[in-house]
Chains A and B, each alone.
Chain A
């Protein structure tokens, strides 16, 4: 189409165009520049302030290789070689079945500075923590004890957090019968780092599960404090443990108390809960080095039974 005249303009054009914004600084063309500058400033601020967060201390997380290390301190100077062999075989065969490790040392390897030989047990625990930093648990099992259920894993017996939570004795005097210090009410299985049981007298320091980590090192090192060793606790390391558990909440807060028969049934029922068929561990506490009730004699039946059970597996 073609017109002779260009189309008519409006007869009353606006006198002038209204300005786009009140602030000429914020004109459209400028907005982009301003935006860019703002982004650049923000980026610069971010770059300057964005120094990487300071590394916070992280303790070593064990890989679980091996999952459990069984620590036993034997005393070849006092006990017969055949008895000690049966003790070692008991741990070794059990560990082999489940992929665990054994850490069997002689009490004389450790310098207890003239105090009771039993302090060597704590040193051995500390030694195991150094040697197996990747183990989940260190299980200190005394020489005079036998594992009686070779088919069961430590995890399913007690160490697994869910199992542990069902077993834990909460709000119970730490040292029987009436210590005012009681185990924590709301401890979670995940947080427990020392699994221990009680007999008639107190804590059973001869069968202890320790979760490897800084806390375990702290507890073992504190436990064998030279001033505790020199204090002449009547039962040496056992009373020292009861002492630190009762006086130091950072220790108590990680302790899970489990029923004695879970991992420390006694052969002598006058000292604590007696062993029954099917219990995980039997402890011959109260046996003597020699004589009628010698450990070797008392262990005969248990050792036979263990061999039968392991063959059946």
Chain B
């Protein structure tokens, strides 16, 4: 016989087998339980007491399959109706209208088909997984790992405490600058899974002869390279820098299509008037070429030039044999002895000189447009016109990556500049909710009432 619906579980247990029993599943199972023929079914029952039978009787049609759902959607009589009251009293399993939210949900869930339940379950799991991934350190570790974002290949070295220590007393402003700068770098490295190494630049009697003072950058670079053996790129940043665009990963911003972003021929911007390329007859083709071998792989030093020449406030080094040599040769007593009176910027001048005299240094150096990693505030490198120079000065419309308040300690207000860029950085990096509030709601409010509100 064909059943109008799939058999329901019977409170006493046991199943009416449609093959054996002429009656539908609704008949009392009393005579089956205990009987020898019901042994199998009793066993099955023990296995999944709460289970729902997985077979369905002769593929029931659309109406039959959906009848329950449709009926659950049917309008019901109001609670005050006597019928409804009666109904409610009579059949407790029907949920009353004024049931609690939880109860309602439960009943909705109870009425759901198994398939739907499963799908919902999978969707929920996926959703929870995504939520966990994006709101936990998992994302950080993913972006850090070589399988994911490869962030462990990058180390940011932040030179904290410059000139501090025995030379200068640090005041509240200096502490505030340091705190903001460090927090900014931490935020950035956390976001992209990079490493952050904060080094102490305070003046110490580190070297017996006190010669190598201010070559600490070189030594810190070397120790950091030893400390992070997996890292490839090391980005030096002075303390007075601020990363404005936290959403730019270095991989995309710098290294993707690196050869299009750098210029290797210093003649493009040459404030030092270095004659380039070399003309010595004993050099090879690569050394004589203005662009070295022209490939991005051979660039191991990424540096910017400001209005006065090389700027070491923000530069990158790639781990390589060449870099070891550069860091090794950077300070040399014979050169120092001859030049230290002329070299105001110490290691910066030493690098310029190395670039000037050694073809091997030039072949692996690439220059980045300054605003890419080292934009200046208008007060630095200013020509007195107070106008922004498109080569040096920060421009928020172009989304310049980093601001370097270079030279602010010489007669400018470091804390003021840091505060300004910090606040602006916060504004640039607002989350979507803040953007919605400030750019839309507050604007509309302003249009309507003519009053600015802070939300």
Contact between B322 and A214, CB atoms less than 8 A apart: yes
Residues of chain B lying within 8 A (CB to CB) of residue A222: 329, 358, 360
Partner of B19, one of A13, A55, A218: A13
Contact between A16 and B15, CB atoms less than 8 A apart: yes
Which interface residue of B287, B295, B324, B328 has the most chain A CB atoms within 10 A?
B328
A-B CB proximity, top 7 nearest: A127-B282, A130-B284, A19-B54, A15-B17, A57-B297, A250-B328, A15-B41
Chain A minimum-CB-distance residue to B298: A57
Chain B nearest CB from A129 CB (Å) reads: 7
A138: interface (CB < 8 Å): no
Q: Scoring A residues 243 to 270 as 1 if CB is less than 8 Å from chain B, else 0, what string do you get?
A: 1100111110000000000000000000
B78: interface (CB < 8 Å): no
Contact between B297 and A247, CB atoms less than 8 A apart: no
A54: interface (CB < 8 Å): yes
Of A144-152, A168-176, A223-231, A294-302, the one contacting chain B is: A223-231
A228-B311 Cα distance, complex, nearest whole Å: 25
A2: interface (CB < 8 Å): no
Interface residue ranges of A204-244 to B (CB < 8 Å): 214-215, 217-218, 221-222, 225-228, 230-231, 243-244
B71: interface (CB < 8 Å): no
Chain B minimum-CB-distance residue to A109: B281
B77: interface (CB < 8 Å): no
Chain B nearest CB from A54 CB (Å) reads: 7
B interface SS class? helix
B103: interface (CB < 8 Å): no
Interface residues on B, range: 35 or more
Of B134-142, B187-195, B331-339, the one contacting chain A is: B331-339
B357: interface (CB < 8 Å): yes
21 contacts between A and B (CB under 8 A): A15-B41, A16-B15, A17-B55, A19-B54, A24-B54, A25-B118, A49-B147, A57-B295, A57-B298, A58-B297, A123-B282, A127-B282, A130-B287, A217-B360, A218-B322, A222-B360, A231-B338, A248-B328, A249-B328, A250-B324, A250-B329
Residues of chain A lying within 8 A (CB to CB) of residue B324: 250
Chain B minimum-CB-distance residue to A249: B328
A55-B321 Cα distance, complex, nearest whole Å: 16
Residues of chain A lying within 8 A (CB to CB) of residue B300: 57
Contact A126:B282 (CB < 8 A) given known A57-B298, A225-B358: yes
B53: interface (CB < 8 Å): yes
Contact between B325 and A250, CB atoms less than 8 A apart: yes
A228-B17 Cα distance, complex, nearest whole Å: 103
Partner of A221, one of B333, B334, B358: B358
Q: Scoring B residues 341 to 359 as 1 if CB is less than 8 Å from chain A, else 0, what string do you get?
A: 0000000000001000111
A96: interface (CB < 8 Å): no
Contact between A227 and B40, CB atoms less than 8 A apart: no
A214-B338 Cα distance, complex, nearest whole Å: 28
Residues of chain A lying within 8 A (CB to CB) of residue B329: 222, 248, 250
Contact A228:B54 (CB < 8 A) given known A15-B20, A16-B17: no
Which interface residue of A23, A56, A131, A225 has the most chain B CB atoms within 10 A?
A225
A18: interface (CB < 8 Å): yes
A18-B333 Cα distance, complex, nearest whole Å: 87
Q: Scoring A residues 100 to 137 as 1 if CB is less than 8 Å from chain B, else 0, what string do you get?
A: 00000000001000000000000110110111010000
